[in-house]
Amino acid sequence: MYPDVLLFIDGKWRPSLSGRTLPVINPATEDVIGSVAHANTDDLDLALEAARKGFAVWRKVPAYERAKILRKAGELMRQRAPEIGRFLTLEQGKPLAEATAEAMGAGDNLDWFAGEASRAYGRVIPARGEGIYQLVIKEPVGPVAAFTPWNFPVAQVNKKVAAALAAGCSVIVKAPEETPASPAELIRAYDDAGLPPGVLNLVYGVPAEISEYLIPHPIIRKMSFTGSTAVGKHLAAMAGAHMKRCTMELGGHSPAIVFDDCDFDATMKLLSGAKYRNAGQVCVSPTRLLVQEKVYENFVEKFVAAAKQVKVGDGMEQGTQMGPMANGRRITAMEAFIGDAVKHGATLRTGGKRIGNKGFYFEPTVLTDVPMDARIMHEEPFGPVALIAPFRDLDEVVTEANRLPYGLAAYAYTRSVKTATALADRVETGQITINHHGFALPEVPFGGVKDSGYGSEGGAEGIEPYFVTKFVTQASA
C-alpha cells in the first residue's frame, strides 16, 4: 500500500546509519501508514562526499547526454504517475486526480529542462585586438542543497533538481518528511533513467539540523529553499554569512482583483476553484478577493454558495474536490486565524470549523468585513479561507494589493485593456495572471519579489541560478 521510505545516497537506497525513522501519517485518517528514514550528520557527511564525487563526474557529461537522462526520467514519471499519485494522496491528502496530474507534470518539467541543458549558450565578445577571443562560458555552480515543502511534494523537488542537473550540478535534496514517498519515487525515476551515483542524493530528518549542517559546508556551493518567509529569511542570512548563492521561493498573500466589467461567471468559476485547490495550501493561492463595489454583494453571495458546494473528503474517494489539510498544524493555524479575525469584528459567511475529529478536514471558509488589525490581513493563511472586501477604483485597489511585504502573485479580471495594462504595470508581484489562470508552467518563470523571495524557477530563467559565469580571453601564442 505505502512504502517505508529510505535515504538515497551515492546511488543506493539505505536506512539512516542510526536506524532512526519517523512515522508517516495519512491526513485523511490520521493513521500511521509508513515510515521515513531520519538522517543525522553522519548520513549527511556521506551525502556530501557523494555530491562532491558526483559533481566531478556529472559536470563532464555533455549537455546532450544529460538531456537524454532527464527526458528518460520524465518518461518514467509519466508511466508511473498513477502509482506515485496514490502515494501522494495517501501522505498529503489532495484528491487523487490532482496528485496524479502532479506526477505527470514532472514529465513536462523534465522535458523543459532537458531542452534548457542544450540551450545554455555562452557568448563571444568582439575583441579590441587581432587574434584575441573573448568567451563568456556558463559553468555549473557546484553541489546544491535543496529544501522543499509538503504541499507539492513532487513538483517542488523536481523544479529544483531538474534545473540543477540540467546545468551540470549535483544535488542533495531534503524533501518533506511528512510526504516522503512521492518525492522518493521521483528520485527513483532519475536513478532508473541512468543518473550516475552521487549526482542526486535524497535525505530526510530534522529540517533545521540539516540546513544548518549543509548550507555552511564548504562542499555546498548553492542552496535553494521553498517554504515560509520566516524560515527563508533565516536560511538566506545563513547562506549570506557563508557566501552561498541562494534561491528563495517564499510565502504569498495574493490579491485577486475583480472589476465590475469582468466576465462575472467565468471569474467566479476560476476563483472558487483556485481558492480551495489543495485546501488553500498553495503559495500563490488567491487570498484577498478584492471586488469592485457594483458587483460586490452578488460576488459574495455566489462565492459563498460555491464554497458550500465544495465536496470535502478523502482524496482517494471519487468526486472529492478538496481533501484534508496536510497536517494537524494547519488545523490549529486555521482555527487561530479565523478566531482572531472574528474576535476583531470579521463576518464569518461560511465555514470556519474543523470537520469531524478524525482526519484534518476543514470547512471551505469565507470571511468578509475583516478589519486591518486581524492577523489574517497580514500573515499568509495557507488554508481554505477567502477574505472578500469591496473596492471603489483602480488607485484604491492597487494600494491595497501592494500593502503587504509579500509580492508573489496577483490575479485580475476585467474586460478593459486599459485596466489590465495598468494592473500589470502597477501591482508589485513576481507574476500576475489576468482573465485566466496561467502560473507555474515549466516554460514560464515562477518567483516572487519583496518578502516572497528572489530567483526564478521555470522558464529560461530557471536554469540560470545553477550557473556561474567564467570569462576566458585568449590570444594566439
Distance of alpha carbon 247 from alpha carbon 465, whole angstroms: 7
- The residue (of 235 and 271) whose beta carbon lies closer to ligand NAD is 235
Task: Decide: is 149 part of the binding site for ligand NAD (CB under 6 A).
Answer: yes
Residue 424 to residues 71, 291, 459, Cα–Cα distance (Å): 35, 17, 19
Of 148-156, 294-302, 307-315, 359-367, which segment contacts ligand NAD by CB under 6 A?
148-156
Strand order from edge to edge, sheet including 385-391? 347-350, 365-368, 385-391, 286-292, 254-258, 409-413, 431-434
251 binds ligand NAD (CB under 6 A): yes
Q: Which of 169, 246, 262, 283 is catalytic?
A: 283
Task: Mark the segment that binds ligand NAD (CB under 6 A) among 163-171, 190-198, 223-231, 463-471.
Answer: 223-231
Selected range binding ligand NAD among 10-18, 104-112, 143-151, 346-354, rule: CB under 6 A: 143-151
> What is the phi/psi pair of residue 257, to 5°?
-105, 115
Cβ proximity of 400 and 379 under 8 Å: no
Instruction: Note whether 278 and 94 are within 8 A (CB).
Output: yes
Minimum CB distance to ligand NAD, residue 284 (Å): 8
> For ligand NAD, which is the closer residue by CB, 127 or 208?
208
The 3-state secondary structure of 154-199, one letter per residue: HHHHHHHHHHHHHHCCCEEEECCCCCCHHHHHHHHHHHHCCCCCCC
In the residue annotation, 169 being an active-site residue is answered as no
SS3 label, residue 200:
strand
> Which segments of 228-330 are extended strands (E)?
245-249, 254-258, 286-292
Query: Among 244-252, 271-279, 304-312, 462-470, which window interacts with ligand NAD (CB under 6 A)?
Result: 244-252
Least Å distance, CB 364 to ligand NAD, is 18
Cα–Cα distance for residue pair 258/67, rounded to 1 Å: 43
Residues 368-397 that bind ligand NAD (CB under 6 A): 380, 382
Question: Which range, of 36-44, 106-114, 125-133, 245-253, touches ligand NAD by CB under 6 A?
Answer: 245-253
Tell me whether residue 249 is one of the annotated catalytic residues: yes
Quick one: 294 or 329, whose CB is closer to ligand NAD? 329
- In the chain, the largest separation of any two C-alpha atoms, in whole Å, equals 79
Tell me: does residue 151 bind ligand NAD (CB under 6 A).
yes
Residue in 55, 87, 113, 147 binding ligand NAD, rule: CB under 6 A:
147
Q: Which is nearer to ligand NAD, 72 or 159 (CB)?
A: 159
**Which of 208, 213, 219 shows the shortest CA–CA distance to 177?**
208
Query: How wide is the angle at C-alpha 201 spanned by C-alphas 198 and 206, nearest 5°?
Result: 145
Task: Give bridge partners of residue 162 from the DSSP assignment.
Answer: none
CA distances from 368 to 19, 297, 333 (A): 50, 11, 19
Task: State the minimum distance, in angstroms, from the CB of residue 326 to ligand NAD.
Answer: 8
Catalytic-role residue among 249, 363, 380, 464? 249
Q: According to CB under 6 A, which residues from 275 to 314 bind ligand NAD?
A: 283
Is residue 364 classed as helix, strand or coil in its secondary structure? coil
For ligand NAD, the binding residue among 95, 142, 176, 359 (CB under 6 A) is 176
Question: Smallest gap, in angstroms, from Cβ of residue 163 to ligand NAD?
Answer: 16
Is residue 150 near ligand NAD by the rule CB under 6 A?
yes
Give residue number: closest CB to ligand NAD: 227
Closest CA to 272 of 329, 343, 350: 350
Binding mask 181-220 for ligand NAD (x = CB under 6 A): --------------------------xx--x---------
- The single residue among 231, 257, 258, 404 that binds ligand NAD, judged by CB under 6 A, is 231
Give yes or no for a contact between 141 and 170, defined as CB atoms under 8 angstroms apart. no
Say if residues 300 and 71 touch (Cβ distance below 8 Å): no
Q: How far is the CB of 218 from ligand NAD (least distance, A)?
A: 19
Q: Binding-site residue total for ligand NAD (CB under 6 A)?
A: 20
What's the closest the beta carbon of residue 177 comes to ligand NAD, in angstroms?
7
- Would you name the residues annotated as active-site residues? 249, 283
Residues forming contacts to ligand NAD in the complex (CB under 6 A) are 147, 149-151, 176, 207-208, 211, 226-228, 231, 235, 249-251, 283, 329, 380, 382
